[in-house]
Amino acid sequence: MKTLGPPTGLKPPPRHAPARLRSTSDLRTLQRLVTHAVVRPLAPGDRLQARWIDGRPMREVAEEFIKPNDRLSACDRLEIYNRMYWFRLFEAIADDSPGLKAALGERKFHRLAQAYLAKYPSRSFSLRNLCSRLPDFIRDEPSWTRPRTALAHDLARFEWAQTVGFDGAARPVLDPAPVTQPQRLRIGLQPYLTLLAVGYPVDDFVLAVKRRNALRSEASNAVEAGRAGRRAKRVPRPRPARTYLAVHRLHGTLYYRRLEPAEYRILSALAAGQPLGRAVVAGGKRLRPDQVSAWFAAWMKLGWLCPAAPRPLRP
């Protein structure tokens, strides 16, 4: 695997650490150098890179700001923090992407995560946002997931939607009182609700992976207790099938629900700001009034509908 460059978005590191900390400027210089050293992508084998950004031996750079001890060199001590940083991020991505990891396999998923974090390093105080750009990265750089890029992209979108669904913002639900001009009414959708049109039944696949992982954990605990555990089999990758999904939460619990194609089109039109009349027309000519009525009743019960956000004023 090729060695990746430094994460994007950081100010360039200083060439050398300050000899002494005489000012806050010196402290900032040291902090910037240490940050670059800690977040520098790992070399093959998950080791500290042997060369610094400018080509100098890493040993020379590390010795400028880290003291060795009787057991570890400056590089050894730096490598501990370098690996801890990356392994924690890898763990967080794996926890949020069990389906993607299962579809790609351990090694390929690890390489994808490393390349993704090199381009889109963590910039938030919370690991919650770590995978927010993973779907775009998979779409824009398909070499990391080829030949399963389409499946990987769908899985990344679906699994990020679960993060949004779990703790995304919520708005007051729509008042069911009658309105004078229902055809012109604009209805919004809850910010935590994500609509997905995907090429694979990713919901079934991810659910099967989570069940498999739970079985593995159960088997591991059984072995530790001295009992024979059931061996969890690999979940087969899903076959292509057009699937429409809504990922949401209800009473603090995450859910995902299959949608009819026409149901998806109506909801998508509402999300795009179309008035109610046009949104219903977007569902297609074969819709029956009782179908639409039943869908709206279900959406209201689930709390999906809310007043549309105010439209920005034209200058």
Q: 63-77, 117-131, 279-293: which has the minimum mean pLDDT?
A: 117-131
Judge whether 228 lies within some domain: no
Q: How far apart are CA 271 and CA 182, in angstroms?
A: 17
Domain interval for residue 249: 170-200+243-315
The count of other CB atoms within 10 Å of the CB of residue 230 is 10
Q: Are residues 177 and 289 in the same domain?
A: yes
Give Dmax over CA atoms of the chain in angstroms. 81
Q: How far apart are CA 63 and CA 67, in angstroms?
A: 6
Q: Are residues 81 and 187 in the same domain?
A: no
Report residue 30 as tokens. Answer: 């040291």
Q: Are residues 56 and 186 in the same domain?
A: no
Residue with tokens 């990356």: 86
User: Which of 288, 291, 275 is closest to 182 using CA atoms?
Assistant: 275
CATH number of the domain at 278, please: 3.90.930.70
Residue with tokens 């992976």: 209
Structural domains counted in the chain: 2
Judge whether 128 lies within some domain: no
- Domain-ending residue, one of 77, 92, 107: 92
- Domain-ending residue, one of 30, 62, 92: 92
Give me the mean pLDDT over the 133-161 stretch. Answer: 98
pTM: 0.85
Q: Are residues 174 and 309 in the same domain?
A: yes
- Asked whether the predicted pLDDT for residue 143 surpasses 50, the reply is yes
Query: What does the pLDDT look like over 55-102, one tens digit per residue?
Result: 999 999 999 999 999 999 999 999 999 999 999 999 999 999 999 999
What is the DSSP code (8-state) at residue 247? Answer: E
Judge whether 250 lies within some domain: yes
- Asked whether the predicted pLDDT for residue 119 surpasses 80, the reply is yes
